[in-house]
Homo-oligomer: A and B are copies of this chain.
Amino acid sequence: MKTTPSHATEDYLKAIYTLSIDGDSASTNDLAERLNIAPASVTGMLQRLASASLPLVDYRKRQGATLTPAGKKAALRVIRRHRLLETYLHEFLGFAWDEVHEEACRMEHVISDAFEERIDALLGHPTYDPHGDPIPDLNLLMPQEASTRLSALRPPQKATIERVDADDKELLRYLEEKSLVPGSKLETRAYSPFDGNLTFKVNGQVMILGPAVTRHIYIQEN
């Protein structure tokens, strides 16, 4: 009886997953914004998803949505495909790291298990995508995500960039140009209060950046 979730459903699942990762449920409005869909439409979709024979979503009126175990599994499957695809597009097809998301977001709904396995093998079973987001393994076990933002770092702490969380392509290109990519090591030099500007050295370069930028960079202290 198990029908494959539709493209739309899979995108909802991914969104609910990331928005409810902190424990509480994903709100209608947040989902609407994330998915670029009117809030009213989201309500309708959540109701439909929650009342399916084998519900993927747990929805309580005005409380938002969370994933059922089956929904979480389905979400992780899509996220795995998405991140593997991003990595593949980047490593094997020469897509820039600001270009991979859209392509992956379309392809993730149509590739077969065989395709997924092939690129996974070709890539050597990667653990992170180009943005540093962890890739769930075959058993859908999701590695821990870095959760400390560069904006929270204070001199004289040192850290390694683990992941970058940005949809904005301009921002992604900007960060890449400044070597603010996963793996780069940095040393903080100064912090200015009120504007939150952080002075730090990366790759031999010293730069001063505000929280509008540093907020999107997640690091591992070292």
Contacts and interface: CB of A to CB of B under 8 A. Distances in A.
A106 B114 CA distance: 14
Contact of A106 (B93, B95, B110, B119): B110
A93 B110 contact: no
Interface in A8-36: none
Contacts of A115: 89, 93, 103
A99 interface: yes
A121 to B, nearest CB: 9
A118 interface: yes
Interface string A125-139: 000000000000000
Interface string A53-77: 0000000000000000000000000
A110 B107 contact: yes
A200 to B, nearest CB: 34
22 contacts: A89-B115, A93-B115, A93-B118, A93-B119, A93-B122, A94-B118, A95-B114, A95-B118, A99-B114, A102-B112, A103-B111, A103-B112, A103-B114, A103-B115, A106-B110, A106-B111, A106-B112, A107-B107, A107-B110, A107-B111, A109-B110, A110-B110
Interface of A: 89, 93-95, 99, 102-103, 106-107, 109-112, 114-115, 118-119, 122
